[in-house]
Amino acid sequence: MNQTVVHTEGESNTSEARKSWQAKSAGQNSEPLLKRDAKAFLHQSLSSPCVSTIAKAEGIWIEDSDGRRFMDFHGNSVHHIGWGHPKLIEAIKAQLDDLPFAPRRFTNEPAVELAEKLAEIAPGDLSKTLFTTGGSDANEVALKIARAATGRFKTISFWDSFHGAGLGAASVGGEATFRSHIAGPLLPGTEHVAPFACYRCPYNHAGPDICGLACAKMVEFVLEREGDVAAVIAEPMRAVPYVPPAGFWKAVREACNRHGALLIMDEIPTGLGKTGKMFAFEHDDVIPDIVTMGKALGGGVLPIAACIARKELDVCGDFAIGHYTHEKNPVTSRAALTTIQIIEEEGLVDRSAELGAYAMAQLQDRLGSVPIVGDIRGRGLMFGVEIVQDRKDKTAGNALAEKIYYACLDAGLSFKISQGCVLTLSPPLTISRTELDAALDIVVTAIRSVA
């Protein structure tokens, strides 16, 4: 049984708000399991000890061991097609009967078909694939390809970014939670620059013609000064959520071209339609040299990720860059193939764009004048509400956000808090308009009650 229900970045696992909620809410079935969990697992930020239990997951709903139900607007970004989609479960069961495993050096139909399908849905010449079991590994494969193709080892990435928990992925990542505890040096040559931050930029409402895209120019500044950068690796849209300014990625793409660096886009949380396009970078009319995918690729059931590169970057044939035991696993491949099929057949990419625009409009209309609401932002069904103490200087309202979070949890809505004060709402793409309205009502009511 999976014990993790909710997740709040920036909130301590032992915060007073969490302990208070658990004290009044943990039922007779959940409490013993929570204690066993805390005793059995190594403790770490953002997961263990857990806030509650889960006994059932179906559609947009999760249910704890005491029968309490929550709409899941977090789902670790894996539940694009909802929990336990019947077509996916049926396909996985059939594949288990047909072929449950393939040794790495023996190919199989589902794995090849998946690689071909990814080449079909990826734009441009992104057509050569390697599978891994997680996004962190996929990003590290991408970094190895960049080193091999360019003969360089340096990278540029952004502070506050997240690219995985492995040592290499944490080195290019910029979240303190995944870097600060590591004794000794991280990978050398992993340069970082300030991220695009339009919502806190003094030129926030001026537009790119006025600000001159200074954030993108910082990337080129480092590319020029370093002179030997293998790749820029970044999330096309931060899942916190943070949307780049217009023209940002075009400027970065052009800078990479000028200085001989590859552009790696980490689409692990945002890919497969979450933002209203199959890939988030398509909003910005750019094509990276390498794209990584994961999380939702396994349909919320099985772990699988992928690194997809331009054909010309197939330069690592004489050495191993992945060599994973489950590299061509037929069952995880079948899960990914079926997930993509469901997304296409049910029109979930367009649905994400439509429902996301509707949700953003609703939140702007109903919360736009609430004094503790800073920004309302996002793309598709990945959107968020920033909670502030002071709207003028946008002082973070972390304590207020926690109160709102637990009020929503009491009302049956689970999500995560990002950056300490952003209510990050990311439902499955299969959510109905009625369910979405119910969730938005819960959020609006909780925010207004705290305000």
**pLDDT-above-70 percentage for the chain:** 92
Q: Which residues 6+ apart lie within 8 Å of 405 measured at CB?
A: 8, 11, 17, 415, 417, 423
pLDDT band at 74 (very low <50, low <70, confident <90, very high): very high
Average pLDDT over residues 407-426: 96
d(CA 163, CA 173): 5
Asked if 163 and 172 touch (Cβ cutoff 8 Å), the reply is: yes
DSSP letters, 263-319, are: EEEE-TTTTTTTTSSSSGGGGGT---SEEEE-GGGGTTTS--EEEEEEGGG---TTS
Residue 426 tokens read as: 């990311």
d(CA 162, CA 94): 35
Give 159-212 pLDDT, tens digit per residue: 999 999 999 999 999 988 888 777 788 999 999 999 987 666 655 555 555 566
Cα–Cα distance list, 76 to 72, 136, 157, 299, 310 (Å): 10, 14, 23, 12, 28
pLDDT of residue 4: 31
- One of 1.20.140.10, 3.30.420.40, 3.20.20.70, 3.40.640.10 is the CATH number of 86-345, namely 3.40.640.10
User: Is the peptide bond preceding residue 49 cis, with omega within 30 degrees of 0?
Assistant: yes
d(CA 383, CA 275): 9
In total, the chain counts a number of residues equal to 451
Give me the residue spans of the domains in the chain: 16-81+347-450, 86-345
Average pLDDT over residues 362-367: 98
> 16-81+347-450 and 86-345 share one CATH topology?
no
Residue 6 falls in which region: left (phi positive, over 0), alpha (psi -120 to 50) or beta: beta
Q: Which helix (H) or strand (E) holds 404?
A: helix 398-410
Amino acid at 17: A
d(CA 392, CA 239): 25
pLDDT band at 28 (very low <50, low <70, confident <90, very high): confident
Q: How far apart are the first and last CA of the chain?
A: 38
With a cut of 90, say whether residue 332 has pLDDT above it.
yes
Nearest residue to 383 via CA among 287, 273, 285, 239: 239
More confidently predicted of 203 and 49: 49
d(CA 281, CA 250): 10
With a cut of 70, say whether residue 354 has pLDDT above it.
yes
Tell me if residue 292 falls in helix, strand or coil.
strand
pTM: 0.93
> How is domain 16-81+347-450 classified at the architecture level of CATH?
Alpha-Beta Complex (3.90)
